[in-house]
Amino acid sequence: MGSESDKASGEDRLIARYFGPIATHPGALGLSDDAAFLTPPPGCDLVLKTDAVVGGIHFFPEDAAHTVASKALRVNLSDLAAKGATPLGFLLSLALPSDIDDAWLTDFAAGLRGDALLYNCPLFGGDTVRTAGPVVVSVAMVGSVPEGAMVRRAGARPGDRVFVSGSIGDAALGLALRKGAAWPLDAGQRQHLMSRYLLPQPRNALAEAVRTHASAAMDVSDGLAGDLAKLARVSQVAATIDVASVPLSGAAQAAIGADPAMLDTALTGGDDFEILCTVPPARAGSFRAAAQAAGVAVTDIGAIEAGEGARFIHDGQPLTFRRAAFSHF
């Protein structure tokens, strides 16, 4: 074992080699200090978010390191999008087992750097440690919104329409494929579902439309049914969803057609990283137009009402789910 100074210099070399090139903001100080600084844009509030991804829970050990890095960033970017926020930068904490080698770190840093550039979201600092367990990647994201403009979960009102972006259920069905599901899908359908689990597509292009038009919003990370129930609970309203209106990709429709029980998985399984929002009816048309201009598909799937809870109506009957949402606990 080396001395404490040897260990520190080894960590310094690792940081400089793999992560220094991603710390492009002047406030990161080239990762040479114990902290960084960030001046908020004039007239803006900061929006803070942190999420972690853990090997064996959020990704498979055999997944390429660059996809692990991208997933860790993108799940946080998705939350900023649902708040109507613009990303400013992030902090990274990385726990590495002893079998992680230079090839893995090189690929991880490449994925991190690519998405930091793609989403204009530089690294500000963080920490690297050893662990006896799996790889853990924890990101703390900072974004900005005009003062007082962050879109909260609370805010939905009776009469509002419920919208979701993109398509629902692909990632949960992709995970089922990774675990051995054998539906009669073609190669393109299988690839679509598995890629949606492997690499989220955060809807940051929709952030301004959400901030301008939505009364409440959150991202769909733990399943549409469970996340809508959370939004309805904190807004102190009820929601009724027409399952036939929930947007499903062609691949998801094929999987559910082969195994109708997978509808439950699609609605509750999580990892969609789409935006769920409520929009006053007078603004619904403008929201659709803004989403179209941003290049993001949105779908009206139901309504907010007085009361409590979230109901999903399928063929005229309320659905009862085996488990309403993904939970770690």
Looking at the chain, which residues constitute the CATH 3.30.1330.10 domain(s)? Answer: 4-146
Cα–Cα distance, 129 to 28 (Å, whole number) = 20
- Classify domain 161-318 at the CATH topology level: Phosphoribosyl-aminoimidazole Synthetase; Chain A, domain 2 (3.90.650)
- Cα separation values, 139 from 93, 126, 142, Å: 6, 9, 10
Torsion-angle region of residue 320: left (phi > 0), alpha (psi -120 to 50) or beta? beta
Residue appearing with tokens 């769909």: 220
Amino acid at position 195, single letter = S
Q: Are 156 and 304 in contact (CB under 8 A)?
A: yes
Distance of CA 326 to the CA centre of its chain: 14
Parts of the chain belonging to CATH 3.90.650.10: 161-318
Superfamily of domain 4-146 in the CATH hierarchy:
PurM-like, N-terminal domain (3.30.1330.10)
User: What pLDDT is recorded for position 322?
Assistant: 82
Provide the token pair at 315.
Answer: 């063929």
Alpha carbon separation from 243 to 30, 225, 240 (Å, rounded): 50, 11, 9
Copy the structure tokens of residue 194.
């598995």
User: What pLDDT tens digit does each residue of the chain (329 aa) get?
Assistant: 233 444 455 777 888 888 888 888 989 888 888 899 999 999 999 999 999 999 999 999 999 999 999 999 999 999 999 999 999 999 999 999 999 999 999 999 999 999 999 999 999 999 999 999 899 999 999 999 999 999 999 999 999 999 999 999 999 999 999 999 999 999 999 999 999 999 999 999 999 999 999 999 999 999 999 999 999 999 999 999 999 999 999 999 999 999 999 999 999 999 999 999 999 999 999 999 999 999 999 999 999 999 999 999 999 999 989 876 555 44
As a three-state string, the secondary structure of the chain is CCCHHHHHHHHHHHHHHHHHHHCCCHHHHHHCCCCCCCCCCCCEEEEEEEEEEEECCCECCCCCHHHHHHHHHHHHHHHHHHCCCEEEEEEEEEEECCCCCHHHHHHHHHHHHHHHHHCCCCEEEEEEEECCCCCEEEEEEEEEEECCCCCCCCCCCCCCEEEEECCCCHHHHHHHHHCCCCCCCCHHHHHHHHHHHHCCCCCHHHHHHHHHHCCEEEEECCCHHHHHHHHHHHHCCEEEEEHHHCCCCHHHHHHHHHCCCHHHHHHHCCCCCEEEEEECHHHHHHHHHHHHHHCCCEEEEEEEECCCEEEEEECCEECCCCCCCCCCC
AA letter at 272 = D
What is the structure's pLDDT at 284? 98
- Give CA–CA dist 34/16, Å, rounded: 14
Provide φ and ψ at 307, rounded to 5°: 125, -150
**Which pLDDT score is estimated for 9?**
58
C-alpha distances out from residue 31 to 5, 151, 190, Å: 18, 32, 41
In this prediction, residue 244 carries a pLDDT of 97
- The answer to whether residues 83 and 122 touch, using CB atoms and an 8 Å cutoff, is no
Only one residue has tokens 């599901």, namely 181
Neighbours of 248 (CB within 10 A): 21
